[in-house]
Structure 1
Amino acid sequence: MFMLRLLILIIFLAALIVFALSNTDLEPIWLVSFGWHLSIGTLVLGVGALALLLGFLIGLIGDMQQRSRARRAEQHVRTLESQLVELHQRLDRLQNQPAAPLPSASPVSPAQKV
């Protein structure tokens, strides 16, 4: 999966670099009331780099959340395993205790049951 992402990233960056090198003419660029002269290729390369960083940060946040959930799940598993060991020990102790004598009862014949 990592290699696929890396391949897509390399292809994307190569396309952006080729576009940036192909469009070097300066053009006036306006954003609200701010204006400057910039090549379209540089603009596209900058927007692509910002999008790449934003995607990386979003992925990092999701990865941190996933790791946190995994740590909580592992802690829960450890707790359940310790409870299971404790229950097995209690069961072994109960099985190894001598059986308490049952109160003696006179045997009932099949004729008396009716």
Structure 2
Amino acid sequence: MLRVLLLVVFLAPLVVFALSNPMEQDIWFFFLGWKLAIGTLALGVGLIGAIIGFVVGWIGEFRQRSRARRSEQQVRSLESQLIDLHQRLDRLQQTPTTAVSASDKG
């Protein structure tokens, strides 16, 4: 939701600028030249910048999710080890009491 809000806040002034500047101008980029409205150029550059920003953010989010999945898997593994250790400890604590009670009977 925040991303959509940021996109609207970022692109709304560009749309207003594009609609306010409909006159075509000669645009040169190195050796390429064409006639284009300055507002359309600004809107196109803004859209390309927003798309690149979202792709970079998505890649970072993907990496973070991958790390989170690995961490959750490690936590599950450690929890199962902890349960096993608690069970071993319970068995070890029960063993001497049964051995002592058996020796008291005999």
TM range (shorter): 0.7 to 0.9
1:17-36 correspondence runs (5 A): 17-36=15-34
Q: Which runs of 5+ in 1 are unaligned?
A: 102-114
Q: Does 1:81 align with 2:67?
A: no
Structure-to-structure mapping, 1:25-104, within 5 angstroms: 25-99=23-97
CA-CA distance at 1:98 after TM superposition: 2.6
Residue identity (%): 59
Q: Deviations over 1:51-86 (max 9, x none)?
A: 010000000000000000000100110110011001
User: How much is the aligned-residue C-alpha RMSD, in angstroms?
Assistant: 1.3
Larger deviation: 35-44 or 9-18? 9-18
Quick one: distance in 2 between partners of 1:87 and 1:7?
50
Report the alpha carbon displacement of residue 10 of structure 1 after superposing the two structures with TM: 1.1
Q: TM-score, normalised by structure 1?
A: 0.81
Task: Give the deviation of 1:13 after TM superposition.
Answer: 1.4
How does 1:4-15 map onto structure 2 within 5 Å?
5-15=3-13
Measure the CA separation in 2 of the matches of 1:54 and 1:88: 51
More helix by share: 2
Larger Cα Rg: Structure 1 or Structure 2? 1
Amino acid in structure 2 at the alignment position of 1:49: L
Once the two structures are superposed, residues 7-38 of structure 1 have per-residue CA deviations (whole angstroms, 9 ceiling, x without a partner) of 23212211110000001111001111110000
TM-score when normalising by structure 2: 0.87
- Residues matched between the structures, number: 99
User: d(CA) in 2 for partners of 1:87 and 1:60?
Assistant: 40
Q: Which residue of 1 aligns with 2:104?
A: none
Specify the SS of the correspondent of 2:96: coil
User: Which structure 2 segments of 5+ residues have no match?
Assistant: 101-106
Q: Tell me the amino acid that sits aligned with residue 8 of structure 1.
A: L
Q: Which has the higher contact order (CA 8 A, sep 6+)?
A: 2
